[in-house]
């Protein structure tokens, strides 16, 4: 399967600051990546679809101005949480699609906003 | 709209015992189905997938799953559970739209020694 990395693995920031999370596809070129968030003991919630060279597609209820997604290359997508607040604290996971419609996930980034 | 149901929130089994995790889906066409496993604080690892063909699929770590169209089910099984199998298990269905996945709520597996 595909290998996906995320950086950082965890981050603590102050309320009001912005945080950038990177998602890298290490062994193939990914035209599409997905961003999820996961609250404790809950399932994954799709936030947006990141498309290389074009604007991301956001799911209903996800604020595009708060969660900025950039997919500038075939191996890198970034998620920036702008003006973070404590309610943004969560586990953020990215994935890529490889082969026949199969998603491979990164290890996740835990964000804690104080 | 498609949906995935995992009826069991939490299951406890003894090491060496057999395991079956249930998954039911609602989808109009023949779905693409997946099982993922997530260890605490980690991302998701693909266990197995079903697209077509043989309805019994083999995955990694000794897991298998059987697609039953008549029951709209895709249950995950393992004949003998190991303590290292303790984790959260997610069933997912491919929606057919832009490769998106719909996930079930997950089943937390606890293994007792």
Task: Say which of A32, A44, A106 has its CB closest to residue B99.
Answer: A32
On the question of pLDDT at B1 being above 90, the answer is: no
Shortest Cα–Cα distance, B58 to chain A (Å): 15
Percent of chain A with pLDDT over 70: 98
Mean pLDDT of all residues in chain A? 92
Task: Report the SS3 class of residue B14.
Answer: strand
- A36 half-sphere exposure, CB direction, 13 A CA radius: 23
Question: Tell me: the pLDDT tens digits for B49-91?
Answer: 999 889 999 999 999 999 999 999 999 999 999 999 999 999 9
pLDDT band of residue B97 (cuts 50, 70, 90) is low
Tell me if B99 and A103 make a contact (CB, 8 A cut-off). Answer: yes
Cβ separation B98–A32 shorter than 8 A: yes
At which residue do the structure tokens 């099984």 appear? B77
Express each pLDDT in A10-46 by its tens digit. Answer: 999 999 999 999 999 998 888 899 999 998 888 899 9
Q: Cα B4 to chain center, whole Å?
A: 10
CA B5 to CA A88: how far, in whole Å? 27
Choose between B24 and B94: higher pLDDT.
Answer: B24
Tell me, yes or no, if B97 comes closer than 8 A to chain A by beta carbon. no
For A81-105, write each residue's pLDDT tens digit. 999 999 999 999 999 987 667 899 9
Separation between Cα atoms, residue A41 and residue B85, nearest integer Å: 17
Tokens of A109: 């980034």
In chain B, what residues touch A2 (CB-CB under 8 Å)?
none
Nearest to A107 among B36, B43, B105 (CB): B43
Contacts of B108 in chain A (CB under 8 A): 41
Return the structure tokens found at B30.
């023949």
Of A54, A53, A50, residue with least CA distance to A67: A50
Say whether pLDDT at B96 is over 80: no
- How far is the CA of B29 from the CAs of B21, B32, B57, B93, B95, in angstroms? 23, 9, 19, 11, 10
């Amino acid at each position: 399967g595909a290998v996906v990395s995320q950086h950082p693995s965890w981050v603590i920031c102050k309320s009001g600051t912005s945080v950038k999370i990177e998602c890298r596809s290490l062994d193939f070129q990914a035209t599409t990546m997905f961003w999820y968030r996961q609250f404790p003991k809950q399932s994954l919630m799709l936030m947006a679809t990141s498309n290389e060279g074009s604007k991301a597609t956001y799911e209903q209820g996800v604020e595009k101005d708060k969660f900025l997604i950039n997919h500038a290359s075939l191996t890198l997508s970034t998620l920036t949480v702008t003006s973070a607040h404590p309610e943004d604290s969560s586990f953020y996971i990215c994935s890529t699609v490889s082969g026949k419609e199969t998603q491979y996930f990164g290890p996740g980034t835990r964000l804690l906003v104080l | 709209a498609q949906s995935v149901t995992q009826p069991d929130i939490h299951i406890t089994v003894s090491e060496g015992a057999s395991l079956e995790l249930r998954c039911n889906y609602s989808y109009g066409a023949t779905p693409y189905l997946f099982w993922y496993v997530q260890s605490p604080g980690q991302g998701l690892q693909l266990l197995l997938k079903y697209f077509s063909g043989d309805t019994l699929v083999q995955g990694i770590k000794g897991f298998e799953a059987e697609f039953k169209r008549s029951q709209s089910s895709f249950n995950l099984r393992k004949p003998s559970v190991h303590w290292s199998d303790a984790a959260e298990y997610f069933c997912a269905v491919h929606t057919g739209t832009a490769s998106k996945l719909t996930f079930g709520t997950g089943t937390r597996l606890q293994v007792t020694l």
